[in-house]
Amino acid sequence: DAGVIQSPRHEVTEMGQEVTLRCKPISGHNSLFWYRQTMMRGLELLIYFNNNVPIDDSGMPEDRFSAKMPNASFSTLKIQPSEPRDSAVYFCASAFMAVVRNEQFFGPGTRLTVL
Amino acid sequence: AQSVTQLDSQVPVFEEAPVELRCNYSSSVSVYLFWYVQYPNQGLQLLLKYLSGSTLVKGINGFEAEFNKSQTSFHLRKPSVHISDTAEYFCAVSERRKVFGQGTRLTINP
């Protein structure tokens, strides 16, 4: 299995631009998670989906952030407009069922830099 | 509400020395506990997890952790570290959702 796939691996953009991060979960997994990692705040859960439905988006910072999962094999996290404070590494993870005892499999992350 | 505290942000040790990375949690109910490892420029990988049963849990790469309910701790240990263990280690607790600690950076000196 290829594991969780994220693209792009690196993104540099200017303040005010729209940014779209993409994720392909492991085939057969029906739960998907988006995390943000920064030095100051550590690893934060932004949103998670179960069977393509958003279950908990309480971690989404503000309305500039949105996430979609149109099908079981694809999800996007969009930031519009982007700001320098959004600079971070964004991870996507998937799991077989959003059961708390299950392991989450993480992608390699997208390093976002907003100038 | 559940929370996780990793008591050390950085732990430097010499190669082949033992190491302990400390993790304390708070929760009002039974929880599941995890340790993940993040190598440079990679995502997190599961090292080990405690769900129930024996309080001593063995994981990959020679790591083990002990669940101590009375002290609400889940410390990670390895008897002899290798240069390749250089990474960041995250403790996580799952009650209703998984919550990660701030991470402990383990650096191995030759």
**Contact (CB, 8 A) for A93 and A32:** yes
Question: What stretches in chain B show pLDDT beneath 50?
Answer: none
State what percent of residues in chain A have pLDDT above 90: 80
Chain B residues lying within 8 Å of A43, measured CB to CB: 44, 90, 100, 103
pLDDT (mean) for A96-105: 79
pLDDT (mean) for A55-60: 90
Identify residue A36 by its one-letter amino acid code: R
pLDDT tens sequence across A1-47: 679 999 999 999 999 999 999 999 999 999 999 999 998 888 999 99
CB contact under 8 A, A93 and B43: yes
Q: Is A52 helix (H, G, I), strand (E, B) or coil?
A: coil
pLDDT tens sequence across A33-42: 999 999 888 8
Q: Is A43 on the interface with B (CB under 8 A)?
A: yes
**Contact (CB, 8 A) for A65 and A79:** yes
> What pLDDT was estimated at residue A1?
63
Give yes or no for residue A98 having a pLDDT over 70.
no
> What pLDDT was estimated at residue B15?
96
Q: Is B61 helix (H, G, I), strand (E, B) or coil?
A: helix
